[in-house]
Amino acid sequence: MTRRECVSNPNGVEANRFNGLITAFIGSGVMAEAMIGGLLSKEIMRPAQIIAADPLQDRCEVLKARFGIQATTHNREAVRAADILILSVKPQVLDRVLVDIGELGSLPKLVISIIAGATIAQISEGLGNPNVVRSMPNTPARIGQGITVWTATESVPEARREQARAILASFGQEVFVEDEHYLDMATALSGTGPAYVFLFMEALIDAGVHLGFPRRIAEQLVIQTMRGSVEYAAQSHEHPAALRNQVTSPGGTSAEAIYHLEKGGLRTVLSRAVWAAYQRSVALGAGKKVAHEPRVTRNPDVLEGDR
């Protein structure tokens, strides 16, 4: 695996890679908007080089007003104009989208997918296009702090790979992997990762409120603690266990708290959650329906009749 950080290079080499090229986004949700914002803020593309397709006219108007790009409610209209195609629809509608645009015959020379679970084979066969890049970004891309794991078919030439790299690096870091099976792993770890972090933050904030802090102060304490801890870990290059030991004095408050977290099975629960997300990603790619476990409460204070 290799990692390259996003580098802003206005009007330079990265921008030159896209001279005269049009990029179409099929699906214009949160991640597509983050990508569009990154491409424009880094001046890798100009607004006139981007066209977005969304079924909602109101959404199209929002995108046009916010970014000055072209937008349409018709997928085929966007694809016909494009040299690069970015698929960013929900997994549940992908097959229908592939049939719709695949019937056009002549398609863009590079297809980039950010769809969870969607395999290269599924996209390549659906479009009749072997030049496919499969990627998995995450939501911090909205502030230019995302990380995207990606791979490409062997038929994608080096020049197209560099275009894909530039696009994916415009909103954070990118990690290229040779084997596609890493993408389902990335979906479970980094793609879904922000959800784990936000849930932990929410629980920690609620614990602070339970102690007696006003929610505003609890939020400030937790957010800055997490921000500082993450930055400290990134700069120190030490193992998280070593960093944890630095703040865990024998018989102290941290040791007591860690004991209860471990006793409660935090590691096991988290590991199971990541594994379940991985299995879900694999199942989405295989077109399988996954039976979900029933949601049950573990709170002994909740009576059976109140569930």
> Annotated binding site for NADPH: which residue ranges?
75
CB 139 within 8 A of CB 32: no
CB 114 within 8 A of CB 137: yes
In whole angstroms, what is the distance from residue 208 CA to residue 284 CA? 38
Amino acid, res. 111: V
Question: Could you tell me which residues are annotated as the binding site for NADP(+)?
Answer: 26-31
Q: For residue 178, how far is the Cα from the chain centroid?
A: 19
Structure tokens at 67: 């970014």
Question: Could you tell me which residues are annotated as the binding site?
Answer: 26-31, 75
Find the angle CA(24)-CA(127)-CA(137) to the nearest 5 degrees: 55
Structure tokens at 268: 């096991």
In whole angstroms, what is the distance from residue 297 CA to residue 306 CA? 10
In whole angstroms, what is the distance from residue 232 CA to residue 252 CA? 22
Judged on CB neighbours under 10 Å (0-12, 13-18, 19+), 275 is exposed
Output the CA–CA distances (angstroms, integers) from residue 244 to 199, 212, 225, 230, 232, in the order listed.
20, 26, 13, 12, 11
CB 202 within 8 A of CB 173: no
Output the CA–CA distances (angstroms, integers) from residue 12 to 17, 18, 43, 44, 145, in the order listed.
9, 11, 9, 8, 22
In whole angstroms, what is the distance from residue 16 CA to residue 39 CA? 13
CB 144 within 8 A of CB 6: yes
Decide: helix, strand or coil at residue 186. Answer: helix
